[in-house]
Structure 1
Amino acid sequence: MRAGATVREAPSVERGQTTQTNGRPSLVQRRKEALRFEIAAEAVRLFASRGVTGTTGEEIAQAVGISARTLWRHFPTKESCVLPLLSAGLESAIDQLGEWPPETGLLDFFTGLARNAVLPPATPLILDLIRMTSTDPALRAVWLQAHDDALPVLGELLARRTGGSADDLRTKVHAATLNGALRAGAEDFARRYGDDPDAAGSEIAACLLDALHAASDGLPY
């Protein structure tokens, strides 16, 4: 436990407290999300220094300054503690896709992101985490879960763009292709720039663009 930290219980979320009347997250919900990110960050730090198998959920809770009971209320396993960090990067890319102009092609759009460094730089913490997903099966499962959770969102985004249905097979294939390209691009960035403290959003977008180019080439078989 950090010096001076005290074990604390997460505030309970009463009915009606999760969102405000204007649809924005309530203070309780924002605190809950902040705690989840704090847990995720401490989990990654411990996994990086001690290894996943060498870290317990209780140690993660102690590092955050909460009880193990509170940690298990938020996450079912120690590996799942990192999900908020993995989901956040993916959500950032999806948020950018929400700004995709109707008259602009996908590759041109990501070319603009790379040129203008629109995407935020990845922190060393996230890069360490993405690299660990390639060697630890349990973390890999969480990484894939984050992308699986994003698949319906991508499907709806593409369906709105084309005026089609998210349940259409063609839309599903396109969403899965885009999803896979985002994952492969992020993994490539973590591999290529993980030790470069100056790597920025432009490099992230460039890796995503390379992955999208590969996807747009189709299957050459």
Structure 2
Amino acid sequence: MSDGSIGDHAGRGRGRTGRPPLTDERRAAFRQEIARAAVELFVAQGVAATTGEQIARAVGVSSRTLWRYFPNKESCVSPLFAAGIDAIGAALRAWPEDGSLEDALEGPTSGEGLTPLPQMPRVRALLRLTRTEPGLRAVWLQAHDEAEPVFARALADRAGLATVDLRSHIQAAMLNAALRVAVEHYAWRTEETESTPEKARAEVTATVRSALGVAARGIS
């Protein structure tokens, strides 16, 4: 077991003297590693039966190190839930005037952004747990709460606005809700064994595109 330093995780068996601090990129990668370990444990044995110590052990660090990155065990999955927000924001800013919203977000919502394809079955299983695990549900909703201002700013930028106006806020809220509901609809109705990775990518893309189409048409 590590003594709790991320340096030990990054280079086990070496001394700590003179080691440069972790870059932002490495910290983000480490958070993703923790998230994947937490997902595996939550899905395999349930949230209640999983401890922070088990998650830390799975990535080769101490629980003290784990709690430097996350306030509780449920929040360990937040990097997976939050994945794709920046990509979607960038896609919104690059959305051409004559293009559809569905086409603009094809890449970020095709399985490479919202639900990384290698982890899609586990993320799908994790999302099913959010129906019965309040702690996980809170983390999932928090990810979308944090996404909404990002989307609003991107939509305002696309419209050439210096500040985010009411229209941008409403559009962002509609988009955010459409993405959340689409992913939940897909995850909650699809068993892990039903799809190959390729079929899963196509299914989640189709579901998201359908939801985005509804959001783009607005309320009538």
Q: TM-score range by the shorter chain?
A: 0.7 to 0.9
Question: In 1, Cα distance between the equivalents of 2:46 and 2:91?
Answer: 33
Cα deviation for residue 109 of structure 1 reads: 4.0
Question: In 1, Cα distance between the equivalents of 2:47 and 2:80?
Answer: 16
Match of 2:147 among 147, 150, 154: 150
TM-score (norm 1): 0.78
Cα deviation for residue 83 of structure 1 reads: 0.5
TM-score (norm 2): 0.78
1:29 is the counterpart of 2:16: no
What does 1:169-184 correspond to in 2, within 5 Å? 169-184=166-181
Cα deviation for residue 202 of structure 1 reads: 3.3
For the residue of structure 2 that corresponds to 1:49, the secondary structure is helix
Question: In 2, Cα distance between the equivalents of 1:138 and 1:153?
Answer: 24
Q: Contact 2:37–2:55 at 8 Å: present in 1 too?
A: yes
Q: Deviation per CA, 1:106-130, whole angstroms, max 9, x where unpaired?
A: 24545xx39xx96536321222222
Unaligned runs of 5+ in 2: 9-20
Please report the RMSD computed on the Cα atoms of aligned residues, expressed in angstroms: 2.7
Match of 1:128 in 2: 125
Match of 2:202 in 1: 202
What does 1:7-156 correspond to in 2, within 5 Å? 9-11=5-7, 28-107=23-102, 109=104, 113=106, 119-120=111-112, 122=117, 123-156=120-153
Q: Deviation per CA, 1:116-154, whole angstroms, max 9, x where unpaired?
A: x96536321222222222221111111111111111110
Unaligned runs of 5+ in 1: 13-25
Match of 1:21 in 2: none
Q: Which moved more, 1:41-50 or 1:119-128?
A: 119-128
Distance verdict in 2 for CA 1:191–1:32, change over 3 Å: same
Task: Give aligned pairs, total.
Answer: 199
Cα deviation for residue 216 of structure 1 reads: 3.9
Question: In 2, Cα distance between the equivalents of 1:119 and 1:93?
Answer: 12
Letter in 2 for 1:214: V
Q: Contact 2:43–2:122 at 8 Å: present in 1 too?
A: no
For the residue of structure 1 that corresponds to 2:164, the secondary structure is coil
Cα deviation for residue 173 of structure 1 reads: 0.9
Question: In 1, Cα distance between the equivalents of 2:130 and 2:85?
Answer: 15
Q: Contact 1:43–1:81 at 8 Å: present in 2 too?
A: yes
Letter in 1 for 2:144: H
Q: Contact 1:7–1:65 at 8 Å: present in 2 too?
A: no
Distance verdict in 2 for CA 1:86–1:108, change over 3 Å: closer
Q: Contact 2:93–2:155 at 8 Å: present in 1 too?
A: no
